[in-house]
């Protein structure tokens, strides 16, 4: 069974309070486009992520707001601004890297929250059953591209009835496999 493999570029998830600090008291997230996961969307709002060495301007915010602010970068992005970000599942930010987030109306210093997102598959319970996998299972996924077919290891399966079937990789992983356009993956046994 094949599924779509999407490239997840650098982005930020913000709390309601941090959104107000960054964009002003009346700020609300402005939907630019829906994402593959139900209820998730890319926003018009952009911020700058500041590390010890450099900064990344124009980083997209994904909505809706969340209980804690989190920054997801590729390993290359993180290194380029001097941040040592651990590879983690989204939401697992305890003890992760700090940074400053700058918006047009203010800035926020987070003491933790910068991660490199662990590659993962979102699946509904029905999709997981068809794929023969369980929540939190770690699998190998083959992604066939014209010039750089790749098998990714350490892919965590995340199962919820709130998900839509899709695998997410970051820009470093996508570039390494030569992913362009619509790309599909399939779980393989090694």
Q: What is the pLDDT of residues 62-73, one digit of tens each?
A: 999 999 999 999
Residues 160 and 176 both lie in one domain:
yes
Residues 158 and 96 both lie in one domain:
no
In tens, the pLDDT along 152-170 reads 999 999 999 999 999 999 9
Q: What is the span of the domain harbouring residue 33? A: 9-117
Q: What CATH number does the domain containing 159 carry? A: 2.40.40.20
pLDDT at 190 over 90: no
pTM: 0.95
In tens, the pLDDT along 134-151 reads 999 999 999 999 999 999
In tens, the pLDDT along 81-136 reads 999 999 999 999 999 999 999 999 999 999 999 999 999 999 999 999 999 999 99
Residue 35 lies in a domain: yes
Residue 4 lies in a domain: no
What integer pLDDT is reported at residue 49 of this predicted model?
A: 98
**Which residues 6+ apart lie within 8 Å of 181 measured at CB?**
none
Residue 3 lies in a domain: no
Residue 33 lies in a domain: yes
Residues 110 and 129 both lie in one domain:
no
Residues 102 and 128 both lie in one domain:
no
Residue 2 lies in a domain: no
Residues 109 and 147 both lie in one domain:
no
**Triad 83, 89, 95: Cα angle to 5°:** 50
The last residue of one of the domains, among 117, 137, 166, is 117
């Amino acid at each position: 069974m094949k599924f779509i493999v999407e490239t997840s570029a650098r982005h930020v998830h913000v709390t309601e309070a941090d959104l107000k600090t960054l964009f002003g008291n009346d700020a609300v997230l402005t939907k630019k486009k829906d994402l593959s996961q139900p209820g998730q969307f890319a926003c018009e709002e952009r911020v700058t992520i500041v590390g010890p060495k450099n900064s990344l301007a124009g980083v997209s915010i994904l909505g809706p707001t969340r209980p804690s602010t989190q920054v997801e970068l590729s390993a290359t992005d993180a290194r380029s601004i001097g941040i040592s970000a651990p590879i983690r599942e989204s939401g697992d930010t305890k003890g992760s890297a700090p940074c400053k987030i700058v918006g047009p109306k203010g800035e926020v210093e987070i003491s933790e929250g910068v991660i490199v997102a662990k590659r993962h598959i979102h699946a509904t319970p029905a999709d997981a059953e068809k794929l023969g996998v369980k929540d939190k299972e770690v699998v190998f996924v083959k992604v066939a591209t014209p010039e750089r077919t790749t098998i990714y290891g350490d892919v965590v399966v995340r199962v919820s009835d709130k998900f839509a079937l899709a695998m997410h990789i970051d820009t470093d992983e996508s570039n390494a496999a030569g992913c362009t356009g619509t790309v599909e993956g399939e779980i393989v046994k090694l």
